[in-house]
Amino acid sequence: MTEYLLKITNLSVHYGTIQVLRGISFEVGKGEIISLIGSNGAGKTTALYAISNIVKKTAGEILFNGIDIGDMEADQIVKAGLVQVPEGRRVFANLSVKDNLEMGAFTRRDRAGIHRDIEMVCSLFPRLKERYHQYAGTLSGGEQQMLAMGRALMASPKLLLLDEPSMGLAPILVDEIFGIIRRINEAGATILLVEQNAYKALDIAVRGYVLETGQVIKSGPAAGLMLDDAIKEAYLGASV
């Protein structure tokens, strides 16, 4: 039986009078990679923002590790082990790679553990080690994505929320980023992935959920979704 690290039940979010999420429910089991796919405006990023309490839910329940975090402050959610890598990277451009990584550990006080995790991140992302003292704003898009992911890992997450990690990257870098996501998962992190590249997202996931206009319209094992004719037509290309 799957032990759920994250359980979302009937989650709704409004932006003013506009309802963006319409009572969605899904689960993320410990050790899994789960993908949320859907078109632009489907509500995928809003779902991540609501889980992190960046936007306030208007209804529903968010359980993380069995604890209701729906009204918990964002920094306390990070301390609990739930960390988000935002869409668009959002690194601190005027700080060095080193300083960005240390900012990721702002909730921690274990200096030896922080030093150990910086070494771990640099081994996972060798280019960050090469550019350790460069300003983050001088890095390429792919390197900034690596830095954003590395910064999140510095918080020692139990659950990592990844929002569009392949956006704007060349195909060869997309392959590299997804390879790293798999390695992060194999090292013990559970991952909830929002990704427009539906093929890549489902290829790496154990299970997937399809969002349209703020609702989960289909879910199931990722391999099965990849064979679903409607999913192939809408998101993967009919020839896949």
What domains, with CATH codes, occur in the chain? 4-81+157-236 (3.40.50.300), 92-156 (no CATH)
Total number of residues shown for the chain:
240
In the chain, the amino acid numbered 48 is L
Residue-level pLDDT at 2: 65
The crossing angle, in degrees rounded to 10, of helices 111-124 and 97-104 is: 120
Q: What residue ranges of the chain have pLDDT lower than 70?
A: 1-2, 237-240
Q: 94 vs 73, 98, 127, 180, CA distance in Å?
A: 27, 12, 18, 26
Cα 38 to Cα 163: distance, rounded to the nearest angstrom:
13
> In angstroms, how far is the first alpha carbon of the chain from the final one?
32
**Structure token pair of residue 112:** 């030896």
Residue-level pLDDT at 41: 87
Residue-level pLDDT at 238: 47
Location of structure tokens 């992302």: 125
Location of structure tokens 């999140």: 152
Cα 92 to Cα 99: distance, rounded to the nearest angstrom:
9
